[in-house]
């Protein structure tokens, strides 16, 4: 499976978010953040700076979710990525 052009196939990472004081945010509070974390599974041929297995932050409203071989993935474009870790 390989995305086409500038598309990126990612697996969303559900992370536990703690405040500085040690409080753990609920899923509802965590979903209020604009950006989500994901792991890059595969990139299209037109993607330059992002590689497979990179951890990224991307706009939570970007892309489309899909089920491939009984696993949930998200397809986004390179311009939706804001940080590469």
Structure tokens at 4: 């086409």
Percentage of the chain exceeding pLDDT 70: 95
pLDDT digits (tens, 9 = 90+) for 42-59: 999 999 999 999 999 999
* pLDDT value of residue 16: 73
- What average pLDDT does this structure show over 18-46? 85
Q: Residue 8: which H helix or E strand, with range?
A: strand 7-13
Structure pTM? Answer: 0.84
- What average pLDDT does this structure show over 31-39? 86
Coarse DSSP helix, strand, coil percentages of the chain, rounded to the nearest 5 percent: 10, 45, 45
What domains are there in the chain, each with its CATH number? 7-84 (2.30.33.40)
* pLDDT value of residue 11: 96
């Amino acid at each position: 499976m390989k995305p086409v052009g500038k598309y990126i196939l990612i697996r969303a990472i559900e992370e536990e978010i703690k405040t500085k004081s040690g409080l753990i945010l609920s899923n509802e509070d965590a979903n209020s953040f604009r950006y989500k974390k994901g792991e890059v599974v595969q990139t299209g041929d037109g993607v330059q700076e992002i590689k497979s297995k990179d951890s990224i932050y991307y706009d939570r409203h970007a892309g489309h979710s899909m089920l491939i071989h009984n696993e949930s993935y998200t397809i986004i474009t390179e311009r939706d990525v804001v940080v590469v870790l």
